[in-house]
Structure 1
Amino acid sequence: MQDQSSQFEIADPPTDGITNITFSPTDSRLLLASSWDTTVRLYNVEENRLQTQVKHMGGILDTCFGNDNNTAYHGGLEKKVTKLDLETSTEQEMGQHDLPVRCVRWSSETNNLYTGSWDKTLRVWDERSTEAVQKHDLPQKVFSMDISNNRLVVAMANRQIFVYDIRNMTEPWQTCETTLRYMLKSIRCMPNGEGYACSSIEGRVALEFFDMSPEQQARKYAFKSHRQTINDTEVVYPVNALAFHPIYGTFASGGSDGIVSVWDGVNRKRIRQFPRYPDEIASLSFSHDGKKLAIASSYTFDEGERDHQPDAIFIKTLDENECKPRTPNNNLGNGTAYV
Structure 2
Amino acid sequence: MTSVPTPAPVSSRELSNPPRDGITNLRFSNHSDHLLVSSWDKTVRLYDASADVLRGEFMHGGPVLDCCFHDDSSGFSASEDNTVRRLVFDLGKEDILGRHDAPVRSVEYSYAAGQVISGSWDKTLKCWDPRGAGGLERTLVGTYPQPERVYSMSLVGNRLVVATAGRHVNIYDLRNMSQPEQHRESSLKYQTRCVRCYPNGTGYALSSIEGRVAMEFFDLSEAIQAKKYAFKCHRKSEAGRDIVYPVNAIAFHPIYGTFATGGCDGFINVWDGNNKKRLYQYSKYPTSIAALSFSRDGGLLAVASSYTFEEGDKPHEPDAIFVRNINDIEVKPKPKVLPNHPA
CA deviation profile, 1:8-28 (whole Å, cap 9, x unmatched): 00100111110000000121x
Distance (Å, rounded) in 1 between the aligned partners of 2:7 and 2:211: 23
Q: Return the letter of the residue paired with 1:286.
A: F
CA deviation profile, 1:143-172 (whole Å, cap 9, x unmatched): 000111011000000111000000111110
CA deviation profile, 1:83-124 (whole Å, cap 9, x unmatched): 010111111211100000000000111110000000000000
The answer to whether structure 1 residue 8 and structure 2 residue 16 are counterparts is: no
Q: CA deviation at 1:326?
A: 1.4
- Counterpart for residue 36 of structure 2: 32
Structure 2: stretches of 5+ with no match in the other structure: 1-5, 339-343
Q: Return the letter of the residue paired with 1:52.
A: G
Structure 1: stretches of 5+ with no match in the other structure: 331-339
TM-score after normalising by structure 2: 0.93
- Counterpart for residue 341 of structure 2: none
Say which SS state the counterpart of residue 21 (structure 1) adopts: strand
CA deviation profile, 1:255-295 (whole Å, cap 9, x unmatched): 00000000000100000000100000000000010111001
Percent identity reads 49
Distance (Å, rounded) in 2 between the aligned partners of 1:140 and 1:328: 42
Q: CA deviation at 1:56?
A: 1.9
Choose from 63, 71, 74 the match for 2:74. 71
- Counterpart for residue 120 of structure 1: 123
Choose from 306, 319, 325 the match for 1:298. 306
Q: CA deviation at 1:57?
A: 2.5
Distance (Å, rounded) in 2 between the aligned partners of 1:277 and 1:305: 19
- Counterpart for residue 62 of structure 1: 66
Distance (Å, rounded) in 1 between the aligned partners of 2:25 and 2:159: 21
Say which SS state the counterpart of residue 161 (structure 2) adopts: strand
CA RMSD after TM alignment: 1.5
Runs of 4+ with >2 A deviation? 1-5, 128-131, 327-330
Query: Which structure has the bigger radius of gyration?
Result: 2
The answer to whether structure 1 residue 308 and structure 2 residue 308 are counterparts is: no
- Counterpart for residue 3 of structure 2: none
Tell me, yes or no, if the aligned pair for 1:267 and 1:327 is still in contact at 8 Å.
no
Q: Return the letter of the residue paired with 1:127.
A: P
The answer to whether structure 1 residue 325 and structure 2 residue 333 are counterparts is: yes
Q: Return the letter of the residue paired with 1:125.
A: W
- Counterpart for residue 285 of structure 2: 277
Tell me, yes or no, if the aligned pair for 2:10 and 2:324 is still in contact at 8 Å.
no
Say which SS state the counterpart of residue 329 (structure 2) adopts: helix
Tell me, yes or no, if the aligned pair for 1:80 and 1:94 is still in contact at 8 Å.
yes
Q: CA deviation at 1:128?
A: 3.1
Distance (Å, rounded) in 2 between the aligned partners of 1:169 and 1:329: 45
Count, aligned residues: 328
Distance (Å, rounded) in 1 between the aligned partners of 2:314 and 2:124: 33
Q: CA deviation at 1:5?
A: 5.6
Q: CA deviation at 1:3?
A: 6.4
Distance (Å, rounded) in 2 between the aligned partners of 1:91 and 1:59: 15
